[in-house]
Structure 1
């Protein structure tokens, strides 16, 4: 063999900042799914908080109905004794029995509602097989300063600033960064990259070529001409992708602002509702029921008046439970709308 294969080395020198653009696009593309995962967690936590409070309220309603049924049964037992002794009309006992029948129907519905909410919570937390054993614990609203503090404009403004770091907004920003990096990369593709090559050729002596041709060193410089092609299509597509990403970011920010305003309004309404029950409805119902019990024992009121007072008190107590649950859910929604969830970086 009178010919040795050539040795060639080429070095491409990219211009236009292509390597940095690819790295920035890759970093943004890596951040977007992590933010999506964090946003899914944010929404899941809010859903679990709602399911937990709904179950707690259902447990409270059932407990109030059980207490009312127990009180009604005891009252009916005592009233039957008075009826047999001729000390009370039989019509009163009939009214108590009708009220007890309504309570039993309400109890069966409350039990069905509680079981349904247990199953819903079990599905959300992955405990479907033991859903019937789930018991919700009360949220201590007295220890939460947000439960009574009014939603000031300063707090809403600060929350709006914090909402910019929400995972869904971060994901949309990351996708916009990916699109902008792709657009810049498409624009940079029109910059001519230079390729420098060095080649070594050797033709040694042989039986047929005693002198050989010696060694040859070649240096080459390659520059693309871009004749009739300047990556216009790639650039147009990247511009379109950037417009789509900017529109998606605008929608996400609008949704975040709407969710923030709705959460603030819900917190304010829930605070007012709970305050009304605590300050006005609750004391009035307790006082009215106590007076009705005393008046009935002394024969100054009818069984119908007593049952109405007990029913009103039961409704107000259930309303207190519902108001607490609604405020806890509103606070959970407010936190989900404003507080970003820490994102674990992908490996």
Structure 2
């Protein structure tokens, strides 16, 4: 089996409550000055609220499985059949009371106990697969937030650099405007472009704060995000593409969990069908009676056995059986639909990844260097009076657009690659 179930469940169940609370209390709320992707993912595993929620959810699923495995307890009863409140009025040695002790046990027939145990075992395995996949999915979310924050930081820095260029360009434009080299119209166009760049910078700062907040929530940081510097752990372009094996793809944890849930629902359906078989309750009773009053007579002890069987007069649990049938078909349909769509989803994500990779490479290797070179040349030429102000503004506007697009595409490519690796399970998500 994929998991060492018995050992894993025992260790995890016994240590989870203390470990989660201990980790939560030991997590530092102040963000470090520098952080790389591996450290961010390790921090999320230790302190992230989503990971803790997944582990509590797992504990709840194990508790549900344990409840399902429990068999009916016997009932113990003790009673007094006659209570002598006036012993002086009765013969000598007459006891004050006559007692009865009884034990009743419900017996489940039709294989109900066996089916419940099988259903519980399948639920436990499904819970383990769910935990594994949910943690991987949460790591993907952390990486997405990391790349979004990197991109937002880069956009913010690019616009700051452009703002510095605008300051120098404005100084040159003022000199040339006073000298009559440029018209009032061109000078106003420059001021408008500077204001638009400043607006873009303020919007980028707002977006940066939003990304910092989201990242802090995932890693349970409360302060220090303003000075946090992230390492540029961008993923490298994929040189080769794995051959997709559908049978191997079906071993993904989320699909395994769905299969185990179907097995559990199937056994629950068998339990529902077995409900039409009445479960008898067998009782054994011991009666202790006092002596009759004569010295040569001893105590009278008697034993009795009884059986009670429910009468299906008004219903025979048809509703419970029907509900179990419906839940089984729901689980099976969900499993089959996920297995049927698994390959198509991967192929679709592969196309998205290839397109993002091509755009990313084109921007980084061709478009962005050309735009930066053109902008530097235009700045120099404008300072020397070789080009018009409108040409400078067009070149600068192009650079601003290209830089913003490059940061966005780089983040989209990184996120699509991480999601693709999750879907094909080619490696562990931890770098």
Say yes or no: TM over 0.5. Answer: yes
What is the aligned partner in structure 1 of residue 118 from structure 2?
A: 24
What is the aligned partner in structure 1 of residue 258 from structure 2?
A: 172
Q: Give the number of the structure whose residues are more often helix, by fraction.
A: 1
- Give distance in 1, aligned partners of 2:225 and 2:108: 65
Q: Which has the higher contact order (CA 8 A, sep 6+)?
A: 1
Consecutive unaligned residues in structure 2, runs of 5 or more = 1-93
What is the aligned partner in structure 2 of residue 345 from structure 1?
A: none
CA deviations 1:205-229 (Å, max 9, x no partner) are: 98769799x99999x9989899999
State how 1:154-233 maps to structure 2 within 5 Å.
154-155=243-244, 157=246, 160-163=249-252, 165-166=253-254, 169-186=255-272, 233=318
- Give distance in 1, aligned partners of 2:411 and 2:218: 18
- Give distance in 2, aligned partners of 1:225 and 1:318: 74
What is the aligned partner in structure 1 of residue 212 from structure 2?
A: 118
SS in structure 2 of the partner of residue 321 of structure 1: helix
Question: Paired residue for 1:98, among 180, 192, 197?
Answer: 192
What is the aligned partner in structure 1 of residue 414 from structure 2?
A: 328
RMSD (CA atoms): 4.5
SS in structure 1 of the partner of residue 230 of structure 2: coil
Deviation, 1:305, is: 1.4
The 3 A distance-change label for structure 1 pair 16 and 62 is same
- Give distance in 2, aligned partners of 1:8 and 1:107: 82
The 3 A distance-change label for structure 1 pair 5 and 282 is same
Consecutive unaligned residues in structure 1, runs of 5 or more = 343-347
Is the Cα–Cα contact under 8 Å of residues 12 and 194 in structure 1 kept in the other structure? yes
What is the aligned partner in structure 2 of residue 53 from structure 1?
A: 147
Is the Cα–Cα contact under 8 Å of residues 32 and 175 in structure 1 kept in the other structure? yes
TM-score, with structure 1 as normaliser: 0.71
Would you say how many aligned residue pairs link Structure 1 and Structure 2? 332
TM-score, with structure 2 as normaliser: 0.60
1:149 and 2:239 aligned: yes
1:130 and 2:239 aligned: no
